A = this chain, B = another copy of it.
């Protein structure tokens, strides 16, 4: 008998972008690695953002003008700080509305008795 990972591929597929936008909205300027650590902390280790997902997404958001960057040196080590642009803040509000609707929908499905009519 083979043992294989029972770990489901991530449920948060599709939610990473709004998660990052929310972080930036709440905490202002942040650098990539910091985001991964903060999400891990906030979710008590549940959500672990991989670098392969994080950095390309941040680059895409920058291209789209949703975020802007400033690179700083911390000792000899680089940190690339991201913050929301004006357009990014607008987009974040939209994304948050969508997230709330989505979470409510999940509630309706997973807790049909508890969910509010």
A: which residues have CB within 8 A of B? 6, 8-15, 17-19, 22-23, 26, 39, 42-44, 46-47, 94-96, 98-110, 112
Contact = CB atoms under 8 A, between A and B. Distances in A.
Nearest to A39: B109
A10 B18 CA distance: 12
29 contacts: A6-B94, A8-B95, A8-B98, A9-B14, A11-B15, A11-B18, A11-B98, A11-B99, A11-B102, A12-B105, A13-B14, A14-B14, A15-B106, A19-B109, A22-B110, A26-B112, A39-B109, A42-B105, A42-B108, A42-B109, A43-B105, A43-B108, A43-B109, A46-B101, A46-B102, A47-B109, A96-B110, A99-B110, A100-B110
Contact of A110 (B47, B103, B107): B103
B112 A107 contact: no
Q: In the assembly, how many copies of this chain are there?
A: 2
Contact of A103 (B22, B26, B98, B103): B103
Contact of A14 (B10, B23, B112): B10
Q: Which are the 5 A-B pairs with shortest beta-carbon distances?
A: A13-B14, A43-B105, A13-B13, A11-B102, A46-B105
